[in-house]
Structure formats: C-alpha cells, structure tokens
C-alpha cells in the first residue's frame, strides 16, 4: 500500500510531474517560474516575481489553500546583482502577493540557469495545512 497523495497536474509537463503534491498536512509545489499564464516572460525581475506568485496562488487554490498556508520559500535567481538592486520593488511585489508582511522563511540563491533562458526567477514553495 502506498501513501495517499492529492495531485494537481496541469500544463505541457502534466505527465511528468505534478504542480503540487499534498500528503497529510504538507503541500509541496513544483518550482514556479516568472512566466504568465499566457506563456509570456516579462523582461524585468519584479514583474517575473509577480507572475511567479500568481502561478503559486493558482496552484494553492487547487488545494483549497491560500498564500497564508506558505511556510517556506526558496528564490532561485539568475542575476543576483540585478536582484539586490531591485530589492525594494521585489519586496513590494511580494508583500502585495501575500497581502501582508510575509510570514514565511526565505532563502535566496543565485543560480547559473533556469529552464528557459529568459527566466530570471523560480520560486519553490512549501505550504502547510
């Protein structure tokens, strides 16, 4: 017998991984990138962060969760210097996405590449119920 998983599959890779997996009180999201639902990639980092949070909120919604359920987020960014220059705008975008001061742990890492060369950010989320 296996554990009971709740899945939310969507998008072109729906056969290969789930956008979210819930087991018990834990919900793990697939890394969400700075691409809009229409498949467009904004050219600036704050807009990509905004798009990533919209994707995150959409996955949470499928599990009956909201941004309040997030406990941990890891930011992977491709250009740390650009990120640090835009910290105020990014934090403003984040606070708007959460609707309050985010009650989450955060880790920020500079990486060498994401799945598309135009992407500047990917956010990995853990949520709890």
State in angstroms the smallest separation of the CB of 105 from a second copy: 4
Which CA distances in Å does 48 have to 26, 75, 76, 102, 118? 26, 12, 12, 18, 10
Closest CA to 115 of 4, 13, 1, 2: 13
Q: Residue 26 or residue 37: which is nearer to a second copy going by CB?
A: 26
Q: From the list 30, 35, 56, 121, which residue makes contact with a second copy (rule: CB under 8 A)?
A: 30
Mapping DSSP to helix (H, G, I), strand (E, B) and coil, where does residue 126 land?
strand
Q: 């909201």: which residue's tokens?
A: 66
Q: Which of residues 33-92 bind a second copy (CB under 8 A)?
A: 66, 68-69, 71-74, 76, 80-81, 84, 91
Point out which residues bind a second copy (CB under 8 A).
2-3, 5, 7, 15-21, 23-26, 28-31, 66, 68-69, 71-74, 76, 80-81, 84, 91, 94-95, 101-115, 122, 124, 126, 128-129
């Amino acid at each position: 017998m296996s554990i009971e998983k709740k899945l939310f599959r969507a998008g072109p890779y729906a056969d290969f991984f789930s956008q979210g997996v819930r087991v018990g009180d834990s919900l793990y999201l697939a890394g969400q990138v700075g691409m809009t639902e229409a498949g467009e990639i904004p050219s600036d980092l704050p807009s990509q962060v905004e798009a990533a949070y919209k994707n995150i909120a959409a996955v949470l919604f499928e599990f009956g969760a909201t941004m309040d359920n997030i406990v941990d987020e890891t930011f992977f960014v491709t250009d740390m210097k650009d990120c640090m220059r835009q910290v105020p705008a990014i934090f403003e975008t984040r606070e708007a996405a959460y609707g309050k001061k985010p009650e989450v742990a955060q880790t920020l890492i500079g990486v060498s590449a994401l799945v598309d060369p135009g992407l500047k950010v990917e956010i990995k989320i853990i949520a709890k119920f």
